[in-house]
Structure formats: C-alpha cells, structure tokens
C-alpha cells in the first residue's frame, strides 16, 4: 500500500479518514464486502482503509479513487470532516408518494360514499 493520499473530490483536494469511510458505508447501507465488490477491491483493502480511524487513509491513489467512485454512485458525498447523502430529495419524494397514496385513498372513499348515496 502507498502512503497517505489526498482525495481529488468535487474539484478540490480533501483528506478522507478511515472514520469517514466507515460512516459513508453506513450511510449508504454498504457492508465492507459490498463496497469491495463495487470498487473492485478486496475486503482486506477496505478493512485496511477503515483502520486509519481519524487519520488520513494511506493507500494508492487509484485505490482511493475506486472507493470514492463506488460511494459516489451510492449517492454518498464527502464533505469537509464528514459525509452526507448527495440527494436530499429522497425524503420529500417518499413523503410525496405517501401523500399521493393518502389522497388516492380519500378520493376512492369519497367516490364509494357518493355511489352508495345515489342508490
């Protein structure tokens, strides 16, 4: 493995720590094995990267790039000192779908009531 590498991310250089990597995996719902498969790396490499804890991950630049790309495709972005989901629209979409379902149920109930009243 190589020495510590700054990640080229979003047009700027960032320090990525082992703890950030672990948080990104948790946020994306990815286990080490899944991240390894998505990035084309071994589980041992992912474990090694996470072992850096609060320190900058030490690995080859290509290795870090592969992991960062797999996480980006999982909708996770790294921010200075942390991670977050790239798409914050997920909750409103879920709420919107739930709202549409409730409206459809209310309309259906209203139509059923008016049909019974017309008999």
Provide the token pair at 82. 């942390």
Which residues are bridge partners to 82 per DSSP? 79
How does pLDDT run across 87-118, given as a tens digit for each residue?
754 444 344 444 555 555 565 566 556 656 65
Specify whether 113 is located in the same domain as 57: no
Specify whether 57 is located in the same domain as 69: yes
Task: Give the count of domains, the chain.
Answer: 2
Specify whether 22 is located in the same domain as 51: yes
What range defines the domain where residue 17 resides? 7-87
C-alpha distances (whole Å) from 76 to each of 18, 52, 79 are: 15, 20, 10
CB 27 within 8 A of CB 85: yes
| pTM of the shown model | 0.65
Specify whether 82 is located in the same domain as 116: no
Specify whether 22 is located in the same domain as 66: yes
CB 6 within 8 A of CB 14: yes
How does pLDDT run across 59-97, given as a tens digit for each residue?
998 999 999 999 999 999 888 888 888 875 444 434 444
Specify whether 23 is located in the same domain as 74: yes
């Amino acid at each position: 493995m190589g020495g510590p590498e700054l990640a080229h991310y979003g047009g700027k250089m960032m320090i990525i720590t082992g703890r950030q990597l672990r948080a990104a995996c948790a946020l994306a719902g990815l286990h080490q094995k899944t991240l390894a498969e998505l990035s084309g790396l071994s589980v041992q490499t992912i474990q090694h990267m996470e072992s850096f804890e609060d320190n900058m991950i030490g690995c080859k630049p290509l290795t870090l790039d592969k992991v960062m790309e797999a996480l980006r495709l999982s909708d996770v972005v790294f921010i200075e000192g942390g991670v977050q989901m790239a798409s914050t629209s997920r909750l409103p979409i879920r709420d919107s779908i739930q709202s549409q379902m409730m409206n459809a149920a209310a309309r259906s109930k209203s139509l059923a009531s008016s049909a019974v009243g017309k008999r």
